[in-house]
């Protein structure tokens, strides 16, 4: 019987415990490591053979490997043999599409954790494709030079807020992480959107993802 070495990455102990319990119900999967930050994850992936990574989309700490899309891209680029499942509360189709493009096997909604992990593990064990919804974002790109000029107008604070937003954080979460008020973060985000000439969160995400601005 083929067995799979599994690593779980999440900064919440309860999630780590719950995912481990779900994984180890199937004898074909063995949890060989648990990590709570991006640095720990990359160090572990470099130190031993890993077949499957189950990782939270948002990871804490100021790591050169980042989190969100940046971390997933680093993992899929430098550890192509590792299959990746992403845990998240995010439902934005632009981020989900980008994760699919990066080669993630499946995006598992934390609200459906028990059901979706079981389905995903069974598919992996049988070598089958994991079924899921696929979405196609709408592009807002026109003239590349003009877009670059718009991006250069952003202040350092606006740049940082957009980076965190693209990683999947909401205004309140960004405010807590940067120790600012939600009103201040919202104002700076709106200012950045005006400078980029986008009118919605969807257009903003498309702009940043398609231009690969924060990877």
* 129-185 pLDDT, tens digit each: 786 544 444 444 444 446 667 778 889 899 889 888 887 788 888 998 899 998 999
pLDDT of residue 61: 65
Burial-class residue 64 by CB neighbours within 10 Å (0-12, 13-18, 19+): exposed
Query: Position of tokens 């079981």?
Result: 118
Confidence at residue 143, expressed as pLDDT on a 0 to 100 scale: 44
Q: Answer with the residue of higher pLDDT: 1 or 19.
A: 19
Q: Name the fold adopted by 4-125.
A: Rossmann fold (3.40.50)
164 closest CA partner among 68, 93, 57? 68
- What is the C-alpha to C-alpha distance for residues 81 and 49, in angstroms, rounded to an integer? 9
Q: What is the model's pLDDT at position 1?
A: 62
**Calpha distance 161→178 (Å, rounded):** 9
Query: What is the H or E stretch that residue 30 is in?
Result: strand 29-35
Which of 82, 103, 98, 113 lies closest to 12 in space, CA to CA?
113
For the record, the structure tokens of 37 come out as 């930050």
Q: Where in the chain is the domain with CATH 1.10.10.10?
A: 144-210
Helix ranges (DSSP H) in the chain: 13-23, 38-47, 68-78, 93-101, 113-125, 144-152, 156-166, 171-178, 182-196, 201-210
Note the pLDDT of residue 141.
Answer: 43
What would the two tokens of residue 110 be?
A: 């934390």
From-to residues of CATH 3.40.50.2300 in the chain: 4-125
Tokens 């994850």 belong to residue: 41
Fold exhibited by the domain 144-210? Arc Repressor Mutant, subunit A (1.10.10)
Helix (H, G, I), strand (E, B) or coil at 6: strand
Summary mean pLDDT of the chain: 83
| Spatial contact of 22 and 54, defined as CB atoms under 8 Å apart | no
| 214: number of Cβ within 10 Å | 17
d(CA 142, CA 127): 41
- Tens digit of each residue's pLDDT (9 = 90 or more) over 96-144: 888 888 899 999 988 888 888 888 999 998 888 786 544 444 444 444 4
In this prediction, residue 48 carries a pLDDT of 92
For residue 77, with 0-12 CB atoms within 10 Å meaning exposed, 13-18 middle and 19 or more buried, which class applies?
Answer: exposed
Task: Please tell me which residue, 38 or 65, carries the higher pLDDT value.
Answer: 38
Angle at which helix 68-78 crosses helix 93-101, to 10 degrees, equals: 10
């Amino acid at each position: 019987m083929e067995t799979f070495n599994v690593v779980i990455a999440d900064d919440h102990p309860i999630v780590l415990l719950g995912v481990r319990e779900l994984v180890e119900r199937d004898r074909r999967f063995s949890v060989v490591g648990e990590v709570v930050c991006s640095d720990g994850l990359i160090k572990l992936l470099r130190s031993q053979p890993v077949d499957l990574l189950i990782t939270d989309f948002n990871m804490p700490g100021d790591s050169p490997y980042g989190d969100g899309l940046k971390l997933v891209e680093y993992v899929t680029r430098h550890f192509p043999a590792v299959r990746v499942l992403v845990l998240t509360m995010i439902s934005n189709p632009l981020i989900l599409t980008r994760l699919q493009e990066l080669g993630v096997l499946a995006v598992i909604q934390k609200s459906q954790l028990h059901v979706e992990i079981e389905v995903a593990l069974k598919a992996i064990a049988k070598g089958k494709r994991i079924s899921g919804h696929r979405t196609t974002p709408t592009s807002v790109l026109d003239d590349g030079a003009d877009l670059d000029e718009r991006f250069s107008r952003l202040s350092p604070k606006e740049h940082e807020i957009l980076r965190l937003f693209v990683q999947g954080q909401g205004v309140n979460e960004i405010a807590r992480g940067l120790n600012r008020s939600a009103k201040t973060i919202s104002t700076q985000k709106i200012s950045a959107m005006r400078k980029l000439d986008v009118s919605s969160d969807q257009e903003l995400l498309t702009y940043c993802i398609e231009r690969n601005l924060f990877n």
